[in-house]
Amino acid sequence: MYIPPNKIDPRVYYTNGGEYYYASNLTNYVGYYRKDVNGRAYAGKELTVNSPQLTPSIIVRSSPPSNINLGSNLSTVYLSISRNTKQSLIESSNPIPDSLPPTQQEYDQTFYVRYFLEYLLSSKPIIAEVNKGTYFNYVNSSLRKYFNNVELLWKISGPLYDIKENDILMKGGVIDSNLRSINQAQKTMPGIRDYLTDLTLYYKK
């Protein structure tokens, strides 16, 4: 299916599974995916005419409020739910990827901050990149203990590799700087190295 570029969400998403499946064979989808502006998801890191459309998995929750929104008003919502229902809801709720691409100002600064949440109650690691607002809604909410969080400085412009003179670092390269950031984040969020495989994501010369 052809989708005009102005109808494609510029963000690249990733799922560890449980969010989407192939409608053709009901196989669980794990990997990168893209979305159009209407929220429809397509398998792959690049959206092409051959990208198969994905079908969202339906998560059954135990009596959650119909208007719950994990991206805002978290404390107020969860204080109104009984302990048993709260636990059931938490176990079936994952942070939703909603990260934003860098702005021109951030390109001028050569770095920008990326925000990550890791859901701790899942049987397998679930890491989602989110925007700053969503990130601090989680971190400052009563759900804080159920999530691991990392802010990662990401280089997006400049030389690709470190520039050194006499073994002294003169200018950090995109690839080397991002690898250092990932290695540092790995200490707080094991598994993020497997999540961040594209060291030149958003890179511009």
Alpha-carbon distance 145 to 34, whole Å?
A: 30
What per-residue confidence (pLDDT) applies to 24?
63
Structure tokens at 142: 């009563």
71 confidence band (pLDDT: 50, 70, 90): very low
| 119 membership: H or E segment, kind and range | strand 111-119
What per-residue confidence (pLDDT) applies to 192?
92
Q: In this structure, are strands 147-155 and 111-119 parallel, antiparallel, or unpaired?
A: antiparallel
Average pLDDT, the chain: 79
Average pLDDT over residues 109-114: 94
Count CB-CB contacts under 10 A for residue 175: 16
| pLDDT for 66 beyond 70 | no
Q: Where are the domains of the chain?
A: 5-56, 62-205
Strand, coil or helix: 55 = strand
Alpha-carbon distance 43 to 175, whole Å?
A: 26
pLDDT digits (tens, 9 = 90+) for 91-105: 445 678 889 999 999
Count CB-CB contacts under 10 A for residue 90: 19
57 confidence band (pLDDT: 50, 70, 90): low
Amino acid in the structure at residue 29: Y
